[in-house]
Chain A
């Protein structure tokens, strides 16, 4: 069974930085696009960022562009999210998710999720 384990969350002051990590196991990590999805307390899901298998394509939701950086280390089966200039509205549980496609044609979906790590931005 696919395993994704996030870490690195915590309390940080506005304007501060935090780096989240996601350790992947039990699948060939380098074969998959990966994503970060967040959920503010009591709110819905928000896609944050995507990264291609080789790390050469990265996409972000507008609200984090220029502040967050997604990266991956395929040798270590690890996904990261560097978060700078944090704001109160970035407070959320951050999930690492694997992107898969149906076998016949590629309709992407999030088929595996980690348990999430809580980031709280507050003074």
Chain B
């Protein structure tokens, strides 16, 4: 099984800050890494796929990078609506997908 570990588990930042969330895979997953945003009581929403591709309609302040085992999600200038929990997810192993434990972002 591929384990996904996110850090930090939670963070607090201010409007306009630049924030980075990291995700580490227990083995190389190439670029099979996706990022989701989830707000309370809502289904997750895809932000980034294939490690660095921005989903259409997602604000450009969101970006992703990395390959192999280490990945990052960066929000360049925090907005109030970015308060949410963020999850990484690997799709390298189609037999068993897995998510990171989540990072709760407070603004």
B interface secondary structure, majority = loop
- Contacts A109-B34, A110-B34, A110-B36 known; A47 to B46 CB distance under 8 Å? no
Range for the number of chain B residues in contact with chain A:
20 to 34
Question: Would you mind naming 10 contact pairs between A and B with Cβ atoms under 8 Å apart?
Answer: A44-B85, A45-B102, A47-B96, A102-B49, A108-B32, A109-B49, A109-B89, A110-B44, A110-B89, A113-B45
Instruction: Find chain B residues with CB under 8 A from A95 CB.
Output: 43-44
A interface with B by C-beta (< 8 Å) = 35, 37, 44-47, 50, 59, 61-62, 95, 102, 107-111, 113-116
Do the beta carbons of A45 and B44 come within 8 Å of each other? yes
Bitwise interface map of B from 73 to 105 toward A, beta carbon under 8 Å scored 1, else 0: 000000000000101010100111111111000
Apart from A47-B99, A109-B50, A111-B46, what 14 extra A-B contacts exist at CB < 8 Å? A44-B85, A44-B102, A45-B44, A45-B102, A50-B94, A62-B1, A95-B43, A102-B49, A107-B50, A108-B32, A109-B49, A109-B89, A110-B34, A110-B46
A interface secondary structure, majority = strand
- Contacts A59-B94, A108-B91, A113-B44 known; A45 to B99 CB distance under 8 Å? yes
